[in-house]
Amino acid sequence: MAEHSLPADIERSSMAIIRAELAERAIELPEEYAAVITRVIHATADFDYAQTLRFTPGAVRLGARALRQGVPIVTDTNMALAGVSKPGLRKLGGEAYCFMAEPFVAENAREKGTTRAAAAMAYAAERYPGAVLAVGNAPTALYQIEREIRAGLRPALVIAVPVGFVNVVESKERLFAACEEFGVPAVAAMGRKGGSSVAVAICNALIYTAADMLDPADRGWQ
């Protein structure tokens, strides 16, 4: 039998390796953010996130509190939606949604000359104004959220982690600045790196924190 073949054992060993390597790099994570940062590193094997993830004050605490209250999560991709912990959400009484594939979103995008991601977030702002908004792919979704915030939207939390080269850096910076200005909790991966896997890792870190499931044994893993 291969060493560390059980899921819980693999995760615990991975987290121990991450903590050891962070110590070797003389990186000390703030306690409030440690669960989020280590889970992102676990999902990506990229220690740059220890430096590039930014948090508005109290973002993790406020995001976890919102999830305990059953606030929904809205993602910008079905890939991210698939990765969000459904057992964790069920324990919290919450749901997760993605509207990218909805025909009415595509129609709205065509009518307004924008992207489906932007149209999907506009719909989310209308349907679930206090949701956790998790964006791992589309800078245009962040621009739309920024516009909505400046127009009065107050999400429970914005997770801003698109990946790529066009408008990625700028959209994160503008969104984060708007969140700081209007007191909206936010987590952002500054720079070009990110992606749906990072958005999922942040969502799940918050879900596990809110549901007391950070240890895999508390998720029923062996």
The pLDDT tens digits of the residues spanning 157-199 come to 999 999 999 999 999 999 999 999 999 999 999 999 999 999 9
* 7-25 pLDDT tens trace: 888 999 999 999 999 999 9
Which domains can be identified in the chain, with CATH numbers? 52-214 (3.40.50.10230)
* 106-157 pLDDT tens trace: 999 999 999 999 999 999 999 999 999 999 999 999 999 999 999 999 999 9
Q: What is the largest CA-CA distance in the chain?
A: 58
Give how far Cα 116 sits from Cα of 32, 74, 108, Å: 34, 14, 8
What is the average pLDDT score of the chain?
A: 95
Residue at token pair 């997760």: 96
Active-site residue numbers? 42
Rounded to two decimals, what is the model's pTM? 0.95
What residues contact 99, with CB distance under 8 A and at least 6 apart?
74, 105, 120, 123, 124
**Does 1 score more than 50 pLDDT?**
no
